[in-house]
A and B are shown apart, each in its own frame.
Chain A
Amino acid sequence: MGRVSAFYDSLVGKKIIMAATGFILFGFIVGHLLGNLQIFLGAEPLNRYAAFLKSIGELLWVVRGVLIISFLLHVISSIQVALANRAARPLGYAHKKNIETNYAALTMQIGGPLIFLYVVYHLMMFTFLTTGPGYSHTDVYANVVASFKVPAISAVYIASMLLLGFHLYHGTWSMLHTLGISNAKSNGLRRALAPTVAVLVAGGYISIPVAVLAGLVG
């Protein structure tokens, strides 16, 4: 236990945990996106996929367990790191110019909680079916179409996915750096990877409500 607690006591250790759990959550985000994109194949494949996920039973709970634990570790360690960082400069500058950092990096602590709020809302709408216009337990396709036909629901969704894109933009770069996957030669590649990942993921998710609103799906 000593080794684990010494690791976790360290801000560097916490950052490595944030990076590793961030990677797991990122895996989920990509998997979920690929599942969702089946909506473009029609109602039948998407509903079959949804039924398949429900049918795997225990395994689904294992995956959910890993995700929930990763999520908790990600959030708790990030809050602890953020508090330590804030405490490290009790008196701020009258004038400070940032040169290298960007909006996405500086707003991780605002974007993160907002994404969390959206996830709760999203689960209520599509998993627990306690809000939103779609209520079928088997026809996922119909639920999605019915929800996104409501412009307000689509707007909130699109805004949240943009936030997610921002989070991934800094997150991808930061994760690779924190895990020490870096050398001068691959630096350009890693810099290019972050916007690519952010645009692909956010764009992929956003394409769904846009397609529904445009009448291409449904």
Chain B
Amino acid sequence: MSKHDSKSEENKVTESAPIKAHEFDSHFKYEITEEHGGEKLKHCFQCGTCTSDCPIARFSDSYRPRTLIRMALLGLKDRVLSSETLWLCAACFTCTDRCPQDIEVASIIRILRNAAVHRGGIPLIFKELGSSILETGIAYRIPELRLKKRETTGLPQLPKSNPEDIAKLAKATGFSKLLKRNEKT
């Protein structure tokens, strides 16, 4: 279990601490609207549909997509990017499908996560998935026994992967650099 477990989620205080004037970064919303999926951020009128229909919000005391959107709009960059609740979105896209303003809510949360990783805050599980993809081409390391069992059950061998080509893509997109930067966190 990483530090992003259920207990720390309930104890987090960053979002509810009083906001200081210097925390507002008025440019932050434009960093989001420039990204694919973030274009309509400014259309949010805080109706709350996303939060009321969010499956995670129903069982979490702190996870609220509307709050994340509001924080992004206000430019509370440090707060929102260091918020552990950012990692609770299940990417079910219910909010995206139901937002009356056509905002891709789940995509905005993904943009915020990408930005958080950029600053060095990546939950353990994503480090593991990422390094597995770099090494094996797929997200999970399949035990030798499983591969043998495929043969005995008459399933064809898995298609081969190509770590050299994956490494090239990881380099070009900046993915390998991101994982390295996050190595010690």
A, B from the same assembly: no
Partner-B contacts on A (CB < 8 A): none
Partner-A contacts on B (CB < 8 A): none
